[in-house]
Amino acid sequence: MSNTTSRPVLRAAVRFLGSMNLAITLLVGVAMASVVGTVLKQNQPYPDYLAKFGPFWFEVFRSLGLYDVYTAAWFLFALAFLVFSVSVCLWRNAPLMMRAMRDYQEGRGRRQLERLKFRREFVSPCEITNARNVIQQALRRQGYRCRTRSAGPRHCTVAAIRGWGNRLGYLCTHSAVVLICVGGLLDGNVPLKVGTLLGRLRVETRDLPASEVPAESRLPRDNPSFRASVLIPEGQRADAAYVNVADGYLLQPLPFVVALRKFRIEHYQTGQPKSFESDVTLSKPGWTAPRDYTIAVNHPLSVEGYTLYQASFEDGGSRLRLQLHRWRSPDVEELEARVNTTVTRDEDGRELRLEFTDFRRFNLNPAPAEDGARRAFIDYGPSFTYRLRQADGTAREFVNYMQPVTLQGRAYFLSGVRDSPADELRYLHIPADEDGTPDQFLSLARALYDDSRWARVMPRVLEDAAPAAARDATLHSNLEQALRRLLILFRQGGLDAVLNFVNAVVPEAHRSAAGEAYVKLLQTALRAFYDDIQPPPRPVSAAAEQERNLFLKDAFAALSVLPLYGSPFYLSLSGYTEVLASGLQITRTPGKRVVYLGFGLLLAGVFLLFYVPYRRIWACLEARGDETRVLLAGTALRHEPDFDREFSRLAMKVHRDTGARPMPPVATLAGTPGQRET
């Protein structure tokens, strides 16, 4: 009883697995996933996705595996299920199709043929043998293969087939889907996924040299398929690459060593990269000598089943010559550093780490353009990036430019700062002096933080701000204390601290006037500090005075936000030696050839399905005395109007060659199934 019950269930399951509805559903799902994988840039660092989508959507997309769609477990499962479904369909239908290709169906009787849409019936004075020969010759001339079946001396049927390759097209397209999916599975890092799920592999998240990566984070050297990347500075070599997995990586050892001899890059006049290529040397045990190659964009290198692509370039440890300007000290410290290295400094008993992360020779930014004008770009010149890390582990990132940048007619040294990579850079605009240096602003900032200089500057400020206070000792003392408190607030918290103080102690009705008075008093004090460090020449020209006023305005704006800068010093770049590193992508894709084979089968199958028509024609002959009664009938899967014309030409030729009586004036496509033409 159980076997009897299970057989219908099994047959129903096989029909479902091999059904077209299931295959189309899986194909649509794979296609949609491929669209996501094309639109969303894959295998990027997780912080980049977090900055782009925000915490909520970042977690949603991460849980769905959208950051590495083509190796996601659900995508590989869908491919495997699609392979299984189409294979079941082939297993069920391929034998039937193969038999149908060889089956001429010459056993069809007259009654069956009379029900076909395309048919002609006439009487020929030829004997049955001659009529049969004429019909066979006419069919063969039109490309049909014929087979004859006789039912005695007075009855025979000629069956013809053309376009049997059309049926082969179904087999080719279905087999192509299987091959393409199998190729995708071969290149889908299935061993990596299985090893990760079983705990044999552990994704490494620490920034470690290749020699220190633990064994559980290393893939086997003979890994059948992978897609890894490696960054090689000029003059260095690598024998392993890194496979990005989730928020970490796995180390993929290589069977050869890649050494970068030289990296070349060409730029457009705008500074944008035009082309770049790497001169590499590969060495491997068993080779008689190392081999030299050149890898360029769109010109990869293939060696023993491995393909090396020129993917990117980065800084490879450029040497930087820096000047460290402390806000509270006039001494300028000369400093040398390299990108991807760390320098430690002690500031007021605190250990600070300078982590240099990048150097860029060109910085292209869109220039202001009028409406309708073509967008132009300005090169802001070299810049370097570093993180200032505190003892508690927190860090701020800084991006400093080497040359002054002209903004709205004024020259500034830009220093960007942000608390995390997800934040936008906020820029400190340091005004450049007449010599194109930040020295005057730095001297002014140091004067503001120099308590000993206040004794010289304070009387001058009070005299300019309140001349009458000089005759009243009490008023003079009160004003001096207020000014000192104001300057302390300004240098500790900037202009925001001053305005917060005003909002806290001044009645609301007088806050606006008090705020303007305090700002004016601060500007007067700033001019006094500036005159103390750089006395103006006498006499002062109008142009020179205007320039001093503009500089002081820019300096006041920069000093107003300086306490928010978050660094006890300013780093300027005085020189550099650029060292580039080539970013290579190394792949091993054995499934690529399988995919190519599947794609070829798909093209062949589509061609056979759409351009090779599948048609059948039967001729039923019956001898009646000295005459032969002929019934021509045919069928076509598609392109019925074309077949109608072909069938009509064939019928007319047979009618003429057999000397038959005039054909009845009945349209080929007329009538209903079962209607008999007379």
| pLDDT tens readout for residues 160-172 | 999 888 888 888 9
Average pLDDT over residues 662-667: 50
Residue type, 177: V
Residue type, 506: V
551-573 per-position pLDDT tens digit: 999 999 999 999 999 899 999 99
Res 663 pLDDT > 80: no
Distance, in Å, from the CA atom of 659 to the CA atom of 656, rounded to the nearest integer, reads: 5
Highest averaged pLDDT of the listed ranges 383-387, 435-439, 526-530 = 383-387
Distance, in Å, from the CA atom of 161 to the CA atom of 108, rounded to the nearest integer, reads: 14
Give whole-number Cα distances, 10 to 7, 82, 85, in Å. Answer: 5, 19, 15
Distance, in Å, from the CA atom of 525 to the CA atom of 448, rounded to the nearest integer, reads: 9
279-298 per-position pLDDT tens digit: 999 999 989 999 999 999 88
* pLDDT band, residue 668 (cuts 50/70/90): very low
DSSP 3-state of 570: strand
Res 347 pLDDT > 50: yes
Task: Specify whether the CB–CB gap between 282 and 304 falls below 8 A.
Answer: no
Mean pLDDT of the chain: 85
Element (H, E) at 405: strand 405-407
Give whole-number Cα distances, 104 to 265, 296, 462, 575, 615, in Å. Answer: 67, 58, 115, 86, 11
Distance, in Å, from the CA atom of 486 to the CA atom of 497, rounded to the nearest integer, reads: 9
Task: Specify whether the CB–CB gap between 631 and 110 falls below 8 A.
Answer: yes
Distance, in Å, from the CA atom of 203 to the CA atom of 207, rounded to the nearest integer, reads: 12
Distance, in Å, from the CA atom of 550 to the CA atom of 662, rounded to the nearest integer, reads: 108
Strand partners of residue 635: 616
Q: Determine the pLDDT at residue 472.
A: 60
* pLDDT band, residue 529 (cuts 50/70/90): confident
Higher pLDDT, 182 or 309: 309
Q: How many residues does the chain have?
A: 678
438-478 per-position pLDDT tens digit: 999 999 999 888 888 877 777 777 777 666 555 566 666 77
Res 535 pLDDT > 80: no
**Nearest C-alpha neighbor of 180 from the set 366, 50, 30:** 30
Task: Specify whether the CB–CB gap between 183 and 591 falls below 8 A.
Answer: yes
Read off the tokens for 318: 């450029």
Q: Mind giving me the DSSP string for 164-201?
A: THHHHHHHHHHHHHHHHHHHHHHTTTHHHHHHHHHTS-
Average pLDDT over residues 330-352: 90
Distance, in Å, from the CA atom of 555 to the CA atom of 413, rounded to the nearest integer, reads: 12
Q: What does the DSSP 8-state code read for residue 369?
A: -
**Nearest C-alpha neighbor of 229 from the set 297, 292, 291, 310:** 310
Res 264 pLDDT > 50: yes
Higher pLDDT, 417 or 272: 417
DSSP 3-state of 498: helix
Task: Specify whether the CB–CB gap between 29 and 23 falls below 8 A.
Answer: no
Q: Determine the pLDDT at residue 195.
A: 76
Query: How many of the other CB atoms lie within 10 Å of CB of 383?
Result: 20
Higher pLDDT, 271 or 8: 8
Phi, psi (5° rounding) for residue 103?
-95, 115
Q: Give me the half-sphere count of Cα atoms (radius 13 Å) on the Cβ side of residue 612.
A: 18
Query: How many of the other CB atoms lie within 10 Å of CB of 439?
Result: 14
Detail the DSSP E strand segments found in 268-318: 273-283, 291-296, 301-303, 306-315
Distance, in Å, from the CA atom of 115 to the CA atom of 109, rounded to the nearest integer, reads: 11
582-636 per-position pLDDT tens digit: 999 999 988 888 999 999 999 999 998 888 888 999 999 998 888 899 999 999 8
**Nearest C-alpha neighbor of 223 from the set 589, 584, 585, 583:** 589
50-90 per-position pLDDT tens digit: 878 888 888 888 888 888 887 777 888 888 888 888 888 88
Q: Mind giving me the DSSP string for 9-56?
A: HHHHHHHHHT-HHHHHHHHHHHHHHHHHHHHSPPS--HHHHHHHHHHH
Query: How many of the other CB atoms lie within 10 Å of CB of 244?
Result: 19
Residue type, 374: R
Q: Determine the pLDDT at residue 1.
A: 47
**Nearest C-alpha neighbor of 564 from the set 497, 494, 490:** 494
Place of tokens 């059309």: 166
Helices vs. strands in the chain: H and E counts, helices first: 15, 25
Res 671 pLDDT > 70: no
Phi, psi (5° rounding) for residue 587?
-130, 155
Cα Rg of the chain (Å, integer) = 43
Q: Determine the pLDDT at residue 581.
A: 92
Measured in whole angstroms, the distance separating CA 513 from the mean position of its chain's CA atoms is 55
Q: Is the peptide bond before 539 cis (omega within 30 degrees of 0)?
A: yes
DSSP 3-state of 125: coil
Residues of the chain with pLDDT > 90, as a percent, come to 31
Q: Determine the pLDDT at residue 603.
A: 93
Identify the sign of the CA torsion 98, 104, 109, 110: positive
Q: Enumerate the domain spans of the chain.
A: 2-99, 190-316+580-589, 319-368+375-429, 444-569
Q: What does the DSSP 8-state code read for residue 562?
A: G
357-374 per-position pLDDT tens digit: 999 988 877 776 655 555
191-234 per-position pLDDT tens digit: 777 777 777 888 888 888 888 899 899 998 888 888 899 999 98
Neighbouring residues of 637: CB distance < 8 A, sequence distance ≥ 6: 166, 613, 614, 615
Neighbouring residues of 501: CB distance < 8 A, sequence distance ≥ 6: 489
Distance, in Å, from the CA atom of 659 to the CA atom of 654, rounded to the nearest integer, reads: 8
Task: Specify whether the CB–CB gap between 633 and 110 falls below 8 A.
Answer: no
Place of tokens 């093209």: 603
* pLDDT band, residue 302 (cuts 50/70/90): very high
Question: Dihedral, CA atoms, 649, 653, 656, 661, nearest 10 degrees?
Answer: -60
Res 2 pLDDT > 70: no
Task: Specify whether the CB–CB gap between 621 and 158 falls below 8 A.
Answer: yes
Distance, in Å, from the CA atom of 621 to the CA atom of 123, rounded to the nearest integer, reads: 10
Measured in whole angstroms, the distance separating CA 121 from the mean position of its chain's CA atoms is 66
Give buried/exposed letters for 573-607 (b at 16+ CB in 10 A, else e): beebebbbbbbbbbbbbebbebbebbeebbebbee
Distance, in Å, from the CA atom of 600 to the CA atom of 173, rounded to the nearest integer, reads: 10
Q: Determine the pLDDT at residue 670.
A: 38
